[in-house]
Structure 1
Amino acid sequence: MRQGFDNDKYIELQAANIRKRIAQFGGKLYLEFGGKLFDDHHASRVLPGFEPDAKFRMLQSLVDDVEIVIAVNANHIEKAKVRGDLGITYDEDVLRLIDIFRSYGFLVGSVVLTQYAGQPAADAYRQRLGQLGVTCRLHYPIAGYPHDIERIVSDEGYGRNDYIETSRPLVVVTAPGPGSGKLATCLSQLYHEYKRGVQAGYAKYETFPIWNLPLGHPVNIAYEAATADLDDANIIDPFHLEAYGETTVNYNRDVEAFPVLKAMMETIMGKSPYASPTDMGVNMAGYAIIDDEACREASRMEIVRRYFTACVNFKRTGEGEDQIERLRSIMTKAGVDENLSPARKAALDKEQATGGPAGAMVLPGGRVVTGKTGELLGAASALLMNVLKAVAGVDDALSVIHDDAIEPICRLKTEHLNSVNPRLHSDETLIALSITSASDPVAERVIDGLEQLRGCDAFFSVIISATDEALYRRLGINVCCEPKYEQASLYHK
């Protein structure tokens, strides 16, 4: 796909600026990581060329100086809060993150349970962490937070929290999701460090909104679309404008919280090192954009994807109608509508012509390929096969999967797994194609086309199965669905 972002330049600039911040504070920095530290697919979609693990790779260049602390809200553990993109609970995701960090040589110092108030599930989790050899610390709710600064910055506030012992100059505070208490963890540590006579500082690693792009830039508008459920809004940072006469972009919650945060840092450190919320951020993403129009185009597509995702979620759960309305407003602001991708019209036209669910995909060169539901392949499987043949230069009329590879899978599904639908899901189709490729060089050539589909946009005329959607996402294909089901049932798997 067309590249708009220089990933290597970003990593180099970001690492250099973090080192500069560490030096600014005398050799100790607590760095709050906003968004996803690992698997940042939103950034990779709106900044084509940004690798999903770019932030992780940047930290690898500092690995000997880095210690990681993972914050998780005890209330989220009690409520078994689930990470939407992975489908696992926050407490399980903490363990997943620890494994990933350690596998790359990072020191994971501690897990901190924030907002701890004796929740039974949190106590069970503490015990589990102890059995796994993971250090766990507790941070407690503070009465009057965040406005009663005198209480917060005292022995009754941050002073009650467990002190997290750290040994490295850069302490990265991350979490499985929002609302985990990363900022409070950083400030609590600052309080304890200064009580111990240790100089330390705080900064925030936040990719979006990009402070040195215009307020109405599609990349920044796409961030509003991504956080439509939180009702976030990008605004001009008034503190930065007043202090420096420079217009920068931040988001409302950081701007609203800044006076309180500044007062806390003044109480802890004697003087706030920052005159604005923009000052707090370490974000060089804007300087790594090499093709502005490519990023604008990608961001507009992301805004529309967020709209369809919200519509499908509303169809599935009956919740989030206000989010849909907000996304409609955001689309208007960005100057786009639901027909931005030519794949939507192609899929709906194909469904009308064939009388069954259909899909379409836009290939890197702009060509639109369609797929329809058949006797043995569903719409997602048929589309995948058609686009693979297209990128491999294979005649669309040629069957590249042998019947003796498809039929055993169909029989297994219907005769042994009690499925009423013999059609192959897209993952099963790839297995059949792989079996065929062992004896057919054309099938092998078709499989080799999978990597060329990364970053492409697919649209389906109905909500596809979770199995098909998961496979497409693993292939790096962006998926949108019309918010309707294939069948008029009340229960849908």
Structure 2
Amino acid sequence: MKKAFSNELYVELQSKHIQERIEQFDNKLYLEFGGKLFDDTHASRVLPGFEPDSKLKMLLTLKDKVEVIIAVCAKDLERHKMRRDLGISYDDEVIRLINEYEHVGLYVGSVTITQYQHQNSADTFKTKLEKRGIKVFMQYPIENYPHNVDHIISPEGFGKNDYIITTKPLVVVTAPGPGSGKMATCLSQLYHEHLHGIRAGYAKFETFPIWNLPLKHPVNLAYEAATIDLNDVNMIDPFHLEKYGETTVNYNRDIEIFPVLNTMFKKIFGESPYASPTDMGVNMAGYSIIDNEAAKDASCREIVRRYYHAQVDYLMGKINDQSLEKMQMLLSQAGVDAKNRKCAIVAREVAQTRQGPVCAIELNDGHLISGKTSSLLRASSAAMLNALKYLAGIEQDIELISPTMLHSILSLKNDYLNMKTPLLDIDEVLLTLTIASAQDQNAKKCLEALPLLKDCEIHSTVILSNKDTETLRKLNMNLTCDPKHATA
């Protein structure tokens, strides 16, 4: 796939722009950080060349000035909300984020628990964090938030919240997922900083939608496709258009909330530093696109993938009719046909002549390879072995793993661990291949070919297991499935 994005230019422009925004205020900026900080694989798919940790690299250029606050909603802790892509709860995700930030040298100053009403899970989590030496602050529900501005900007509103003591000029407010209270945390801090005589600022950093691309650009449509469950809608920013006569793109929630935010800024500062939602942003991604056609092509591919994901989510009851209809509309707006996904076409064609599920992989050289379910392997595992043989230059009929070894693993799973899984998953096959590679050069060559699967497309005629899905994610392969449950 052609490179569409200059990561180096992006890091340079973004760092410079944030530094300018810090200096706009009293050397204190609260930056609401949307999206994923160090594993933004969506951005890397729609903007080839964008590295998943680009935003992290940008922050590391400002490391000495950065402090991180992680916001997590007490209601999400109480209901054990999960981060779907990683399969872990929000409290575990907060711990993971703290470890990841500290590992790269970013200072995590504190965690704030929002919407706190003395929930048991929140109290337990607070104790757990404090035992690790993490400072924890509380924010409380505010009646009629965000509309009753006079009440919000008062001792009974933001004044009830803990004042989070920070020491760095740039305070990055992030969270384990949407709806965690990042914006409310920033605004509460502006209120408290003002009481302490500090004119702190607020800005928002979200990569998508990209404000200086057209409204219906595939990159922006792909963002809508990725957030159909949130019902986000890209819109022309009417405030920016009225003030500057310039057409820019934002999304409905920011546009709807801006009049309230503007009033809050005026109540706190006496005047608002911003004339539009676009003004609040610090996103330089649009200026770093170096091949617009490549970005369009990559984004159209992503919209197709999101369409398949939506069909599966609908079958699983994770999205409703309205979300599925919106996904179909986005396909139409992008001018793409989901039926043209090559690996899906091959998988279905092979499935018509074989009994059972089939997986097909489109490699980066355009070659298409399939695998079918056997008495030992899932279709996904068979396709993986076939693809690795091709990439390693090994004939398909050469045996890499002895059936005796595979039967032994199945026996362990079924007879001793009571797992009752009749077929081997991808990770089990790769582990077995690793053992075989100690004595078999062909197996070793196949393992060495694993990095070549990065960015390859794979389609299954049935919904894959969570284990296989996670393994493919770790290999950076782009999976889609037909909305059909496997029978075994």
Same fold by TM-score greater than 0.5: yes
Query: 1-side partners of 2:90 and 2:421: how far apart?
Result: 35
1:373 corresponding residue in structure 2: 373
Q: Which has the larger displacement, 70-79 or 409-418?
A: 409-418
Q: Matched residue of 1:199: which SS?
A: coil
| Preserved contact between residue 43 and residue 52 of structure 1 (Cα < 8 Å) | yes
Aligned residue number for residue 361 of structure 2: 361
Which of 248-257 and 307-316 deviates more? 307-316
Counterpart of 2:455?
A: 455
Q: Would the alpha carbon gap of residues 354 and 308 (structure 1) be closer, same or farther in structure 2, given more than 3 Å must change?
A: same
1:24-103 matched pairs, under 5 angstroms: 24-103=24-103
Alignment of 1:377-456 (within 5 A): 377-456=377-456
Higher mean displacement: 88-97 or 120-129 = 120-129
Partner of 2:162, secondary structure, is coil
Per-residue deviation at 1:403? 3.9
CA-to-partner distance for each residue in 1:392-411, whole Å, 9 max, x for gaps? 22222222234454343233
Tell me how far 1:293 sits from its aligned partner. 2.0
Q: Secondary structure at the residue paired with 2:340?
A: coil
Pair 29,479 (structure 1): closer, same or farther in 2 beyond 3 Å:
same
1:250 partner SS: strand
The more displaced of 154-163 and 414-423 is 414-423
The 3-state SS of whatever aligns with 2:143 is coil
- 1:183 matched to 2:187: no
Q: Deviations over 1:49-80 (max 9, x none)?
A: 21211111211111111000011111111111
Counterpart check, 1:167 vs 2:141: no
Q: Residue type of the partner of 2:459?
A: F
Gapped regions of structure 1 (runs ≥ 5): none
Paired residues for 1:132-143 under 5 Å? 132-143=132-143
In 1, the alpha carbon distance for the partners of 2:205 and 2:146 equals 21
Q: Is the 8 A contact 1:304 1:336 kept in 2?
A: yes
Structure 2 CA distance for aligned equivalents of residues 5 and 303 of structure 1: 18
Distance 1:229 1:95 in 2: 26
Q: Partner letter of residue 111 of structure 2?
A: V
Deviations along 1:75-126, one digit per CA (max 9) or x if unpaired, are: 1111111111111111221111111111111111111111112222222222
Structure 1 SS opposite 2:75? helix
Q: Which 10-residue stretch deviates more, 418-427 or 376-385? A: 418-427
Cα contact 2:414–2:421 (8 A) shared by 1: yes
TM-score by length of 2: 0.97
Q: CA RMSD in A?
A: 1.6
Count of residue pairs brought into register by the alignment = 488
Give the letter for the 2:417 counterpart: L
- The equivalent residue for 1:271 is 271
- Cα offsets for 1:342-386 (capped at 9, x unmatched): 111100111111122101111112222111112222100111111
Q: 1:292 aligned to 2:287?
A: no
The answer to whether the Cα contact below 8 Å between 1:361 and 1:457 also exists between their aligned partners in 2 is yes
CA contact (8 A) 2:225 2:306 kept: yes
For normalisation by structure 1, the TM-score amounts to 0.96
State the AA in 1 paired with 2:303: I
Worse-matched range after superposition: 38-47 or 242-251: 38-47
Contact 1:310 1:320 in 2 (8 A): no
Mapped partners of 2:340, 2:126: distance in 1: 48
Q: Distance in 2 between matches of 1:138 and 1:486?
A: 45
1:188-241 Cα deviation digits (max 9, x unpaired): 111111111112111001100001111111110011011101111101111111
- What amino acid maps onto 2:351 in structure 1? E
Taking the aligned partners of 1:16 and 1:327, their CA distance within structure 2 comes to 37
Aligned positions of 1:188-203 closer than 5 A = 188-203=188-203
| Contact kept? 2:229, 2:319, Cα under 8 Å | no
8 Å Cα contact 1:411/1:422 also seen in 2: no
1:150 and 2:139 aligned: no
Distance 2:84 2:414 in 1: 31
CA contact (8 A) 1:66 1:169 kept: yes
Verify: 1:478 aligned to 2:487, yes or no: no
Aligned partners of 1:405 and 1:435 also within 8 Å:
no
Q: Whole-Å Cα distance in 2 between the matches of residues 477 and 264 of structure 1? A: 45
What's the offset of the Cα at 1:462?
0.8
Q: Deviations over 1:263-315 (max 9, x none)?
A: 11111112111111111101011111122222212211211222222221232
Shift of 1:249: 0.6
Note closer, same or farther for the CA distance 1:198–1:306 as it changes in structure 2 (3 Å cut). Answer: same
Of all paired residues, the percent bearing the same amino acid is 52
1:235 and 2:232 matched: no
